[in-house]
Structure 1
Amino acid sequence: MSDNMARKQVLLIEDDPHIRIMLTTTLAAHHYLVTAATDGDSGYRIAAESSVDLVLLDLGLPDMDGQQLIPLLRSVSAAPVLVISARDQEQQKVAALDAGADDYIQKPFGVGELMARMNLVLRRSRERPAEPPARYRRGELSIDLMTHRVELSGQAVHLTPVEYRLLAALARHPGRVITHRQLLREVWGPLHEEDAHYLRIYMRQLRRKLEANPAEPRYLLNEPGVGYRLAQD
């Protein structure tokens, strides 16, 4: 395989020329092939017409809010979307993830952090099956989504229907942050998207049943102010 074929294709959608040049140079030094767009419309057209492995998306674009662009990118490309933005409020991060972003990194960021986040979303994209996984296994925890059986160290764990639906919602996307609103919508329905206290109560119950030390969970991980994820190796 040639060097160019082995390199990942990155679509960078960023209107700030200084950041665009810096990222293009940095990514090229790490053996990525970069195509840059300065606004949402051109970014969308490149995603629709080209083979892209990853999208780096700034939210502050001159022609549209980057958050509005995320579902449009999703409609034409399977490439994961990593948001890079100076917006630091938790609800803005949640809104981007709700819109379909795979991860969010806040400006300013270091090269090491950017590379780590890019590697993570690319690895998850490679491992993402065409259909949700039928089984989750990590350490002593096993979740069979076909039989609805949950085991810890080989022993069956009894969960209430709501506890199981919450755990299954996370197990269908291991390693990915699922926002509070997404979990509430999936487990309790669209009328309960603001009832975050439901999550706190049931997550506490799940941790008591599944974690050796609920205060330091190994499986059910919290992303403060954003959501939860099920740990993945």
Structure 2
Amino acid sequence: MQPNEEDSRIGLGDDCYLDLDGEFLMKDGERLYLTGMAFRLLRFLAEHPGEIISTQDLIRRGWGRDSMVERDELYVYINTIRASLEDTPKDPKCLRNIRGQGYVLYPRVKD
């Protein structure tokens, strides 16, 4: 999902988008602010919808190529993103883990 140049938004599915200028997530008419790191990670995932992004690629994207960040720290941010994006964070539909491969972002579909 590439940003719409006119309004700098990346659509994330039903009534949900990332506002790149304001750096917030709009979900169901509510403006949600994420930490800088969570926003950067979600933006990267949103720019590659449906693609499996490895855990290592997410760590490199968030913290830099030579980072010594542990996976557990990434998991904290994944949970933060899910808490904002998902209707039921413990049963994620949008931000899914593909065991042994990484994470993939699917468009949000309201029930």
TM over 0.5: yes
Higher helix share: 1
Q: Distance in 2 between matches of 1:198 and 1:186?
A: 14
Please state whether the residue corresponding to 2:49 is helix, strand or coil. Answer: coil
Alignment counterpart, residue 178 of structure 1, candidates 49, 53, 77 = 53
Q: Distance in 2 between matches of 1:140 and 1:193?
A: 37
Please state whether the residue corresponding to 1:212 is helix, strand or coil. Answer: coil
State the Cα distance separating 1:198 from its structure 2 match.
Answer: 1.7
Please state whether the residue corresponding to 1:143 is helix, strand or coil. Answer: strand
Q: Distance in 1 between matches of 2:40 and 2:13?
A: 19
Q: Distance in 1 between matches of 2:53 and 2:68?
A: 13
Letter in 2 for 1:173: H
Letter in 1 for 2:61: E
Number of aligned pairs? Answer: 102
Q: Which residue of 2 aligns with 1:213?
A: 88
Distance 1:133 1:146, change over 3 A: farther
Runs of 4+ aligned residues of structure 1 deviating over 3 Å after TM superposition are none
Q: How does 1:10-159 map to 2 (within 5 A)?
A: 133-134=2-3, 135-159=10-34
Q: 1:141·1:152 contact (CA, 8 Å) conserved in 2?
A: yes
RMSD, matched Cα = 1.9
Letter in 1 for 2:80: Q
Please state whether the residue corresponding to 2:11 is helix, strand or coil. Answer: strand
Q: Which residue of 1 aligns with 2:6?
A: none
Percent of aligned pairs with the same amino acid: 30
Please state whether the residue corresponding to 2:66 is helix, strand or coil. Answer: helix
Tell me, yes or no, if structure 1 residue 195 matches structure 2 residue 59: no
Q: 1:185·1:193 contact (CA, 8 Å) conserved in 2?
A: no
State the Cα distance separating 1:149 from its structure 2 match.
Answer: 2.9
Tell me, yes or no, if structure 1 residue 163 matches structure 2 residue 32: no
Q: Distance in 2 between matches of 1:225 and 1:173?
A: 19
Letter in 1 for 2:103: Y
Q: Distance in 1 between matches of 2:49 and 2:71?
A: 21
TM-score normalised according to structure 2 size: 0.80
State the Cα distance separating 1:146 from its structure 2 match.
Answer: 4.5
Distance 1:146 1:229, change over 3 A: farther
Distance 1:232 1:137, change over 3 A: closer
Letter in 2 for 1:201: V
Q: Distance in 2 between matches of 1:193 and 1:154?
A: 38
Higher-RCO chain (CA-CA 8 Å, sequence separation at least 6):
2
The CA deviation string for residues 10-63 of structure 1, in whole angstroms up to 9 with x for no partner, is: xxxxxxxxxxxxxxxxxxxxxxxxxxxxxxxxxxxxxxxxxxxxxxxxxxxxxx
Structure 1 stretches of 5 or more lacking a match?
A: 1-131
The CA deviation string for residues 202-228 of structure 1, in whole angstroms up to 9 with x for no partner, is: 111111122111111121111112111
Q: Which residue of 2 aligns with 1:226?
A: 101
